[in-house]
Amino acid sequence: MIPRILVTGSNGQLGTCIKDLDDNKFDIKYVSSSDLDITNNQEVESFFEQQKIDWCINCAAYTAVDKAESDYDSAFNVNVFGVKNLAEACRSYSVKLIHVSTDFVFDGEHNRPYKESDPTNPIGAYGKTKLKGEQEVSKALKEYFILRTSWLYSEHGGNFLKTMIRLSKDKTELGVVGDQIGTPTYAKDLAKTIFHIIANDISDYGVYHYSNNGVASWYDFAKAIFDINNTKIQINNISTAQFPTPAKRPHYSVLDKAKIETTLKLKTPYWRDSLIAAMQNIKNE
């Protein structure tokens, strides 16, 4: 039987990447916040009752990291209440949940890649709400996947790759932070992993880390973008202190992928290879 799948937050960059890869092997219903308000418990309940779905992929999230500092209630509403509503509906209607989370659940004080079992300690409002959302999932369900990812970018929406390309069109010089370390992750690679879980009906439930492979700073990421694009621009390696933001960022947020690679028998692509593929797709568009 063809799995019936609900994708929430379908207009965001991950939701759009899932649409891009949809080859009609599954029966997928895509909903944005205007189609389904996940913060409204009754709306979620009645939606699940009517739709009869097998899997829910939750891509809906409040992701404005800096804005969350001054708009905590809105972030909490989507990232905690919304997730709680989905998780409880999944429990009531025997739906398996794939919930997307973030490296921001960690404080960034490590000097080795974070494992799923490492203690969480978010340092900002966004990370705190995402962690509370994870806790709502694990409290309500046994059949769930929480996929923590980092530095997500794609051809779609607003992200670091698109911003760098846009800025390079009218600037000859840019300062980019070089003392925050992580791994850029192509949203289409994450989307493929999600499809892999469903297609193989994997039942090794729990928390997993997924990003591309390798380690980079934002400066390294920007440099790679301009190198691949043959863009002549002066990039200056600046410190976090020189580029203050309302929200503190983890200084180190590399994720350990050993669990997902071993359990799901996956090889995570190297970040620069995926960046080349994404930029080729942008050119082709």
Q: Mean of the pLDDT values across residues 243-247?
A: 92
Residue 220 falls within a domain, yes or no? no
Q: How confident is the model at residue 1 (pLDDT cuts 50, 70, 90)?
A: confident
Q: How confident is the model at residue 167 (pLDDT cuts 50, 70, 90)?
A: very high
How far apart CA 258 and CA 36 sit, in angstroms, is: 35
Residue 46 falls within a domain, yes or no? yes
- 30, 62, 114, 126: the active-site residue: 126
Q: How confident is the model at residue 84 (pLDDT cuts 50, 70, 90)?
A: very high
Q: How confident is the model at residue 209 (pLDDT cuts 50, 70, 90)?
A: very high
Q: What is the pLDDT of residue 284?
A: 87
How far apart CA 65 and CA 138 sit, in angstroms, is: 24
Residue 242 falls within a domain, yes or no? no
H-helix or E-strand containing 176?
strand 173-177
Chain-centroid distance, C-alpha 45: 25
Q: Mean of the pLDDT values across residues 244-266?
A: 95
Residue 246 falls within a domain, yes or no? no
Angle between helices 160-167 and 218-228 (to 10 degrees): 60
CATH of the domain at 65: 3.40.50.720
Q: How confident is the model at residue 33 (pLDDT cuts 50, 70, 90)?
A: very high
pLDDT tens digits, one per residue of 176-188: 999 999 999 999 9
The region of weakest confidence among 26-30, 43-47, 168-172, 187-191 is 168-172
Residue 145 falls within a domain, yes or no? yes
How far apart CA 150 and CA 207 sit, in angstroms, is: 14
pLDDT at 285 over 90: no
Q: What's the mean per-residue pLDDT of the chain?
A: 96
Q: Mean of the pLDDT values across residues 233-247?
A: 94
Q: Mean of the pLDDT values across residues 76-83?
A: 98
> Cβ of 76: how many Cβ atoms within 10 Å?
19
Q: What is the pLDDT of residue 11?
A: 96
Q: Mean of the pLDDT values across residues 109-113?
A: 94
Q: Mean of the pLDDT values across residues 46-70?
A: 96
Residue 105 is part of which domain span? 4-158+184-214+253-271
Residue 124 falls within a domain, yes or no? yes
Q: What is the pLDDT of residue 58?
A: 98
Residue 48 falls within a domain, yes or no? yes
Q: What is the pLDDT of residue 66?
A: 95
Q: Mean of the pLDDT values across residues 11-29?
A: 96
For residue 83, give the 3-state DSSP assignment. Answer: helix
Largest CA distance in the chain: 56
Query: What does DSSP say about strands 55-58 and 206-209: parallel, antiparallel, or unpaired?
Result: unpaired
The count of structural domains within the chain is 1
Residue 278 falls within a domain, yes or no? no
Strand partners, 175: 236
Say if pTM beats, i.e. exceeds, 0.95.
yes
Catalytic status, residue 126:
yes
Of 65, 96, 277, which Cα lies nearest the Cα of 186? Answer: 277
How far apart CA 107 and CA 119 sit, in angstroms, is: 9
Q: Mean of the pLDDT values across residues 95-109?
A: 98
Q: What is the pLDDT of residue 274?
A: 98
pLDDT at 148 over 90: yes
